[in-house]
Amino acid sequence: MVKLAQMKRRLLRSWLAFGALESHQSLWIYLRKQSSGSPVDGTFLAVGGQYDYLLRQIREREHGSSPPGAFGASLALETVIQHSCPNFRTIRREDSVSILVCSKGGGGLLKERMELLPRLWEANIKAGFVPSFGPSLTEQYE
């Protein structure tokens, strides 16, 4: 397990940049490679921006009043963890598949759905369905 101090040091090596594009404040956070002097050779950790200008354009036109400030950000959490903990392995089961056999319209297609299930099970694919003649999509998803 990586100690907190090591994680802080790695994140302190990240590069933080603020820019403005048509009154839109933007935020980019990315990690530079040690050997490279160019921030372009790094990995993005987060991207975001201030959206006051955009909200003002929309809201003043429709409501005639100024909206509150807004900021949005997207954090690449998996990337942050991978760069913070070198021994971290992403656990994904790509070989695991589950299927819900649904129908929309056509009287529910109960017979066809029932015929499809054994084929999926023979291929070791987990599959299920709602055993009803005409289930709604909501009913099938629940």
Encode pLDDT of 74-133 as tens digits.
888 877 777 776 665 655 555 666 787 777 766 777 788 788 888 888 888 888 877 777
Please indicate whether residue 98 or residue 3 has the higher confidence score (pLDDT): 98
Whole-structure pTM value: 0.36
Q: Residue 25: which pLDDT band, with cuts at 50, 70 and 90?
A: low
The per-residue pLDDT for 135 is: 67
The per-residue pLDDT for 16 is: 37
Q: Residue 137: which pLDDT band, with cuts at 50, 70 and 90?
A: low
Q: What percent of the chain has pLDDT over 90?
A: 0
Calculate mean pLDDT across residues 35-45.
Answer: 61
Mean pLDDT for the chain? 67
Least confident window among 50-59, 64-73, 82-91: 82-91
Per-residue HEC secondary structure of the chain comes to CCCHHHHHHHHHCEEEEEEECCCCEEEEEEECCCCCCCHHHCEEEEEEEECHHHHHHHHHHHHCCCCCCCEEEEECHHHHHHHHCCCCCCCCCCCCCEEECCCCCHHHCHHHHHHHHHHHHHCCCEEECCCCCCCCHHHHHC
